[in-house]
Amino acid sequence: MTFKKLWESAYNESGGSAQTADTVPLTEEQANFLFETLRTGSIHDKQQAVETFAAYGKEAEVHIAKKLNLNDISMFTHLADILGRIGSNLSAEILSKALATKKNEIILPAIKAVSLMADMKKAANVLADFFISCQDEPMLARSIRYLLNLKEDISPIFIEKYESLDEEKKMYILRFLAEAAQPCALPLFEKQAKQTPEEYGLYCIDGLGKLGSDEAVKVLDKLASHSEWFLRKRAATALGQTENKSAVPILLRLLSDESNLVRASAVKGLSIVGKFAPEIIAKKLKNAPRLVKINLIRIMGQIGDHLFLEPILSTLSERDTLFFSIDALGDLGHKGAEPALRRLLTDEVWFNRLNALEALDKLQCQYMPQIAEKALQDENDMVRNSAERILKNLRS
């Protein structure tokens, strides 16, 4: 018999419904039934027992406080889960006891429970103290995701205590702050990125990218001009994460960087953030040197803004960028590109014909079956194979 049926038959209640929790007290007998289910039930029944306990809120807390046993790891994990679900302030007490055991199997569930406490200020102070005092590096790394539940309250605490910490702990604090991306961390990110850009500053660069404010972009702009290529690359990656229009001109500048890897990061960044300033990218295309123009065309196709249709079409007369322009028109997916692409089906270079055929397929143009049928007569086997594949897909 399932947990639900056992519960309903024994107590004539619908397993932890809101009405039950509000109107009927949780008896000792019922609590013991739930505890026994947590101890011996199936995975599904245990989950239902947790949900039923949690529905009783503070009433469940009274019974759970009597049953917390640090030596019973499985039961402790379930009870910590319930305390977290009801936002119990008892979680702070169980974390203190769990830390004393030095058993990671119960420390992490206790940390999770604290992160869900109703008293968020208290929870933030408890977890900040834990994080600062903990010397177990794997535990620090694993606990960050739970501390992020309280990032608005924990970040100011970490920033205030940062200077008094040892170097190893500073690294973990910066790692957390980079994930949390709170505005209050901006001055610390800027200072640390300037002092140790090749060390802890790397976390700050990531944090600035996630922060994404105009002020953060200004700091990244300086780092994008650093003499070390890998810092410029890191800055380019961060700029791409900002979702800020002001990052676009900086990334456009990095398309001319001497490092291939920096340029590649700038291309990737612009393909993400470029949608916020498509007109700036389109304007840059007009007088760009060949390699920059190729990357801009690729970026335009990846962004997919129909504003780019005319600028890309204007490059079709340039043979040294034609391959990329055809590709981008397919990615762009605008049916206005169809006439130009159909003209390229008779181009003298076979891979241009192939690209044009596959770009037209991406456009899902009305006459694709007829276009592909005609391409079956092409002198090049690659073009014929592509046409055959397109027809097969159209018929399926």
The residue-averaged pLDDT of 156-184 equals 96
Alpha-carbon distances of 121 from 85, 115, 152, rounded to whole Å: 17, 10, 10
CA end-to-end span of the chain: 48
- Cβ atoms 215, 186 nearer than 8 A: yes
Instruction: List, for residues 232-262, the tens digit of each pLDDT value.
Output: 999 999 999 999 999 999 999 999 999 999 9
Predicted local distance difference test score (pLDDT) of residue 92: 87
Rounded CA-CA distance 149/136 in Å is: 21
The residue-averaged pLDDT of 123-138 equals 93
- Cβ atoms 170, 158 nearer than 8 A: no
The answer, yes or no, to whether residue 345 has pLDDT greater than 80, is: yes
Instruction: Please count the other Cβ atoms lying within 10 Å of the Cβ belonging to residue 163.
Output: 8
Q: Which residue has the tokens 């304007």?
A: 283
Instruction: List, for residues 85-121, the tens digit of each pLDDT value.
Output: 888 888 888 888 888 888 888 899 999 999 998 899 9
Here the tokens at position 121 are 């200020």
Which value, to the nearest 10 degrees, does the dihedral of the CA atoms of residues 297, 303, 306, 307 take?
-70
- Cβ atoms 123, 92 nearer than 8 A: yes
Q: Which CATH superfamily is domain 198-276 in?
A: Leucine-rich Repeat Variant (1.25.10.10)
Question: What's the mean pLDDT when you consider all of the chain?
Answer: 92
Which has the closest alpha carbon to 223: 252, 185, 196, 261? 196
Reported pTM: 0.84
Query: Residue 2 — φ and ψ, nearest 5°?
Result: -75, 165
Q: CA 251, 253, 259 angle in degrees (round to 5)?
A: 90
Q: Report the greatest alpha carbon distance in the chain.
A: 86
- Look at 14-28, 111-125, 371-385 and tell me which has the smallest mean pLDDT: 14-28
- CATH code of domain 288-396: 1.25.10.10
- Look at 17-26, 359-368, 373-382 and tell me which has the smallest mean pLDDT: 17-26
Rounded CA-CA distance 73/62 in Å is: 20
Predicted local distance difference test score (pLDDT) of residue 23: 52
Q: What is the DSSP letter of 348?
A: S
Query: Residue 351 — φ and ψ, nearest 5°?
Result: -75, -20
Rounded CA-CA distance 46/82 in Å is: 11
Compute the radius of gyration of the chain from its Cα atoms. Answer: 30
Predicted local distance difference test score (pLDDT) of residue 18: 41
Instruction: List, for residues 175-209, the tens digit of each pLDDT value.
Output: 999 999 999 999 999 999 999 999 999 999 999 99
Instruction: List, for residues 262-318, the tens digit of each pLDDT value.
Output: 999 999 999 999 999 999 999 999 889 999 999 999 999 999 999 999 999 999 999
Rounded CA-CA distance 353/334 in Å is: 19
Rounded CA-CA distance 304/308 in Å is: 8
Question: Where do you find CATH 1.25.10.10 in the chain?
Answer: 198-276, 288-396
Which has the closest alpha carbon to 371: 394, 348, 396? 394
Please report which residue ranges of 242-337 form alpha helices under DSSP H: 248-254, 260-273, 278-285, 290-303, 309-313, 322-332
Here the tokens at position 48 are 């239902």
